[in-house]
Amino acid sequence: RLSGLIVDIFADVAVIASSAAWVEKYRQQIQSLVSKVSDVKHIKWRSSTDILKEEGLDMSEQKEPAPSSYSGTVKVMENGIVYLVSMEGQKTGFYADQRESRHFISTLSKDQRVLDLCCYSGGFALSAAKGGATNVTGIDSSGSALDLANENILLNKLDAERISFLKEDATAFMKGAISRNELWDLVILDPPKLAPRKKVLQSASGMYRSLNALAMQVVKPGGLLMTCSCSGAMTQSGLFLKTIQGAASMAGRKVTVLRQAGAACDHPIDPSYPEGQYLSNYLLRVM
Q: 149 or 276: whose pLDDT is higher?
A: 149
Share of residues in the chain with pLDDT > 90 (%) = 69
Supply the DSSP string of 143-193, one letter for each residue: HHHHHHHHHHHHHTT--TTTEEEEES-HHHHHHHHHHTT--EEEEEE----
Residue 273: left (phi > 0), alpha (psi -120 to 50), or beta? beta
Instruction: Give the three-class secondary structure for 100.
Output: helix
On the 0-12 / 13-18 / 19+ scale of CB atoms within 10 A, 103 is middle
Q: What is the pLDDT of residue 234?
A: 78
Binned at pLDDT 50, 70 and 90, residue 64 comes out as: low
Of residues 2 and 255, the one with the higher pLDDT is 255
Amino acid at 119: C
pLDDT score recorded for residue 61: 65
Domains of the chain: 5-69 (3.30.750.80), 95-286 (3.40.50.150)
For residue 65, what pLDDT is reported?
Answer: 54
Greater confidence (232 vs 11) lies with: 11
Q: How large is the average pLDDT for residues 204-225?
A: 94
For residue 273, pLDDT beyond 90: no
Residue 68 has pLDDT above 60, yes or no: no
**Beta-sheet pairing, 113-117 with 135-140:** parallel
Please state, in angstroms and rounded to a whole number, the distance separating the CA atoms of residues 6 and 24: 12
Which position has the higher pLDDT, 194 or 206?
A: 206
CB atoms within 10 A of CB 9: 17
**Residues 96-103, mean pLDDT to the nearest whole number:** 94
Q: Torsion angle of alpha carbons 74, 77, 83, 89, nearest 10°?
A: -50
Strand ranges in 181-272 using DSSP code E only, listed in sequence order: 184-189, 219-229, 255-261
The H helix count followed by the E strand count for the chain is 10, 12
- Strand 219-229 and strand 280-286: pairing? antiparallel
Amino acid (1-letter code) at residue 267: H
Greatest mean pLDDT range, 37-46, 69-78, 168-177: 168-177
| pLDDT of 89 over the 90 cut | no
Burial 189-225 (b: 16+ CB within 10 A, else e): bbbeebbbeeeebeebbeebbbbbbbbbbbbeeebbb
* Residue of 119, 228, 230, 265 marked active site: 230
Residue 266: the pLDDT is: 81
Amino acid at 126: L
* Average pLDDT for 30-35: 95
Q: Is the pLDDT of residue 287 over 70?
A: yes
pLDDT score of 73 = 93
Pairing mode, strands 219-229 and 184-189: parallel
Long-range contact list for 69-78, CB < 8 A, 24+ apart?
Answer: 69/43, 69/44, 69/45, 70/13, 70/42, 70/43, 70/44, 71/44, 73/148, 74/10, 74/11, 74/12, 74/13, 75/11, 75/155, 76/10, 76/11, 78/102
For the chain, give the mean pLDDT.
Answer: 91
Question: Which range (19-23, 26-30, 248-252) has the least confidence?
Answer: 19-23
What percent of the chain lies above the pLDDT cut of 70?
94
pLDDT at 195: 64
- Tell me the average pLDDT across 111-123: 97
pLDDT > 70? residue 62: no
| Mean pLDDT, residues 4-26 | 92
Q: Does residue 228 have an active-site annotation?
A: no
Q: Is the pLDDT of residue 16 over 80?
A: yes
